[in-house]
Chain A
Amino acid sequence: MTDAAVRGDGAVERTYLEAIREALFEEMARDENVFCLGEDIGAYGGAFKVTDGLLARFGESRVIDTPISEAAIVGAAAGAAHMGMRPVCEMQFIDFISCAYDMLTNYVATARYRAMLPCPMVVRGPSGGYVRGGPFHSQNPEAAFLHTPGLKIVYPATASDAKGLLKAAIRDDDCVLFFEHKYLYRRVKEVMPAGDHVVPIGKARVAREGSDVSIITYAATVWKALEAAEELARDDGISVEVIDLRSLLPMDDEAIVATVRKTNRVLVLHEDTRTGGVAGEITARINELAFEWLDAPVLRVTAADVPLPYSPPLEDYVLPQTADVVKAVRQLARY
């Protein structure tokens, strides 16, 4: 907990990373069926130190260092989950979740439906770019799993949501993919809500109220949207509403429709690439559910359709930036 800053009033702020760690500590203390497994999560405390201290507190039977075997990590978690355990798997970087894609999509996601075998388990890991991580330490693989019935997907943007959603994910009776944005790990912090803080899966959050244009987004780009909204209010007098989806599967259609009906102009923003991305799905839902409420076509701001490059000028060019959001909102407001 070394990153925590004690504020003047005595309330302790937690970073996004500490909030995740706190959720793990609390859930493992609450329920002895909860255990963690992954690569280098024990003595080393994980590549980003998310699991630091868990081994000392809970011992090596509940904090299991595994071989480099994502399929075995996820498969073993599924088997243990069938028997009533609640495993939390760490992917050292979420980029490596693709090694367990078969296990997740074919085995885990179908188990309840085809065999009445529940899989109460979490697969979590550091995701996302803006960190000069290159093609294999920066990915956002959510769209690859959004297409799979049987999985749930959450991707928090704030520290309190990170904690509350992880606790909800661990308690959920199905497999939840918990994407953690590594750019946010130590950059955002807040005082945790008191008590047993659980955020329901499937509910979006209004990150900023507005009346002219809506930005629907999630994860790190929530903060880009908020920066853009500030700038647009100041320079253009445009009132921007920012919706932080928090959960992608199930998706909060009600919140999406509500903001469309309020502003009638929508920008969908995400860090992942464009083609086949989550933004396309959101756009289709708006088309089906609220077409008559639109005053402008739905626009997307996303990464370009390229593997994420390493060099700063390249990465910055590919990923969506605040200026891109400002430009897109201005276009929507003008339409």
Chain B
Amino acid sequence: MAQRTRRRETAERPRRSAAEPPSPSAALSREARLELYYYMRLTRSLEERLVNLYRQTKVVGGLFRSLGQEADSVGSAFALERHDVLSPLIRNLGSMLVKGARPDEIIRQYMAKGDSPTRGRELNIHYGDLDRGFIGQISHLGDMVPVMAGVALSFKLRREPRVVLVYVGDGATSTGAFHEGINFAAVQRLPMVVIVENNGYAYSTPLAKQTAVAELKDKAVGYGIPGVRADGNDVLAVYDVTRAAVDRARRGEGVTLIELVTYRRKGHAEHDNQSYVPPGEIDRWATENDPLDRYVAVLRDRDGVTDAELAAADRRAHDLIDAATDAAEASPMPEPTDALVGVYGEPAVVPPLWFREGVRSAVSAHERAAGWGTFDGASALKAASDD
């Protein structure tokens, strides 16, 4: 991998010395490096806003955080071109934002609004937009690997110079779909990059109970593809390793598996009290290895970025989130009968069942009643975790 990177970079940037191979991130402008910061900040602040909305019970379902993992999402998605397509996982809000997902869409999704991208059918960040280049995941982990292999296959068949990036977690590497999808893509030499986010836990299950391999990148050997590992909390390292794999895929050299080592500082979802985590572990990552703190230090030291510039980026994120929250709160809930639309292209609408004919709404109120849609245990857990 380093060899290839050096050759490519040497050709493009001959002024660099051969003794010190330049990284792709070295070619990023100062403005682009500030953008990396902005998207990481936007991700974190947007999730913090969602926590507020969740505690106000305005988020109807569960809430998923990527606290401490912002660098791996943002840095990797930043390595894609406009027409490349990614498929995020539940902790890749940052990847979607880089690809053009808007905070108001995210908040509408969480609040189950009628004008959310999925018109209230799907939860949280489970949505996509082919034009902007992201395809929504389903909850069955690993399933997006074969699907994104198919997207990559369409690029290959049509000779389009586009690349696919699919995210999985450490847990998904245990699924059959992951194996089948990556094997098929490897055989077909599809333009695909697979990022395995190793954040230590799949729900409550630690990596040691998930797999017997020492490092997840070693799984690549079984597919005859390169496997590389990088520090997922170093946004520039993430960008570099992804960019090299994306370039390789675009050259027609096939699939790369990237393991990004990071840490999930919040529970599986907001209700999870993380009782299974050894004491001190979360604090250690928070104080010693926060991706935003680390990157701010880099920006200050290497690029001379000032406090004022950082504050301006923060303000830009917060203003966007404030406006998005207002817009989402003002949005209507879906019309109940919209539930019957769009199962098939033809027929476009499923007829109502006989006992619902002429009935516009199954319930009298649109707004969520207390506890509606959650079982009591979940409410109790939520209350406990909110304390």
A interface list, Cβ under 8 A from B: 35, 61-62, 64, 66-67, 69-85, 87, 102-103, 106-107, 110, 112-118, 149-150, 152, 172-174, 250, 288
What is the total of A-B residue contacts with beta carbons within 8 Å? 139
Bound Cα distance A113, B128 (Å): 12
Contact of A117 among B135, B343, B347, B354 (CB under 8 A): B135
Bound-state CA distance A76–B344 (Å) is 20
| CB within 8 Å for A75 and B147 given contacts A113-B121, A114-B122 | yes
Contact indicator A75/B140 (Cβ below 8 Å): no
Query: Provided the pairs A75-B143, A85-B154 are in contact, do residues A113 and B342 lie with their beta carbons within 8 angstroms?
Result: yes
Can you list 30 contacts pairing A with B, beta carbon distance less than 8 Å?
A35-B157, A64-B188, A67-B187, A69-B146, A72-B177, A73-B184, A75-B147, A76-B153, A79-B148, A80-B150, A80-B157, A82-B130, A82-B151, A83-B130, A83-B150, A83-B151, A85-B153, A87-B150, A102-B140, A102-B143, A103-B177, A106-B143, A107-B143, A107-B147, A112-B342, A113-B342, A115-B128, A116-B118, A152-B344, A288-B354
> A110: which B residues are within 8 A, CB to CB?
138
Q: Does B91 contact A (CB under 8 A)?
A: no
Contact of A71 with B177 in the complex, beta carbons under 8 Å: yes
A79 adjacent to B184 (CB under 8 Å): no
Contact, CB under 8 Å: B151 / A79: yes
Say whether B97 faces chain A, with CB atoms less than 8 Å apart: no
With A79-B150, A83-B151: A69-B183 Cβ-Cβ less than 8 Å = yes
**A172 nearest CB across to chain B (Å):** 8
B152 partner residues in chain A, CB cutoff 8 A: 79
A114 to B339, CA, bound (A): 10
Cα distance A117–B342 in the bound complex, in angstroms: 10
Docked complex Cα distance between A82 and B152 (Å): 11
Q: Is B127 an interface residue when CB atoms closer than 8 A count as contact?
A: yes
Interface residue B384 (Cβ < 8 Å from any Cβ of A): no
B161 within 8 A of A: no
A31 to nearest B CB, angstroms? 13
Partner of A71, one of B128, B176, B344, B346: B176
What residues of B have a CB within 8 angstroms of the CB of A149 in the complex? 343, 350
Cβ of B130: which chain A residues have Cβ within 8 Å of it? 82-83, 117
Q: Which 6 A-B pairs have the closest CB atoms?
A: A79-B150, A75-B146, A76-B150, A173-B345, A72-B180, A83-B154
Q: Which residues of B contact A107 (CB under 8 A)?
A: 138, 140, 143, 147
Q: In the complex, A66 Cα to B150 Cα: how many Å?
A: 12
Known: A75-B177, A76-B181, A115-B118. A103 touches B146 (CB 8 A): yes
B150 pairs with A77, CB closer than 8 A: yes
Q: Is B245 an interface residue (CB 8 A)?
A: no
Instruction: From B126, B150, B183, give the contact of A78 (CB < 8 A).
Output: B150
Asked if B114 CB lies within 8 Å of chain A CBs, one says: no
Contacts of A81 in B (CB 8 A): 150
CA separation between A66 and B147, bound complex, in Å?
15
Contact, CB under 8 Å: B180 / A67:
yes
Chain A residues, Cβ within 8 Å of B176 = 71
Contact A115 B343 (CB under 8 A): no
Nearest A-chain residue to B164, judged by Cβ: A79
Q: Which of A35, A61, A80, A102 contacts B151 (CB 8 A)?
A: A80
Q: Which residues of B lie under 8 Å from residue A76 when comparing CB positions?
A: 146-147, 149-150, 153, 181, 184
CA distance A172 to B345 in the complex (A): 9
A-contact bits for B180-222, CB 8 A (1 contact / 0 none): 1101100110000000000000000000000000000000000
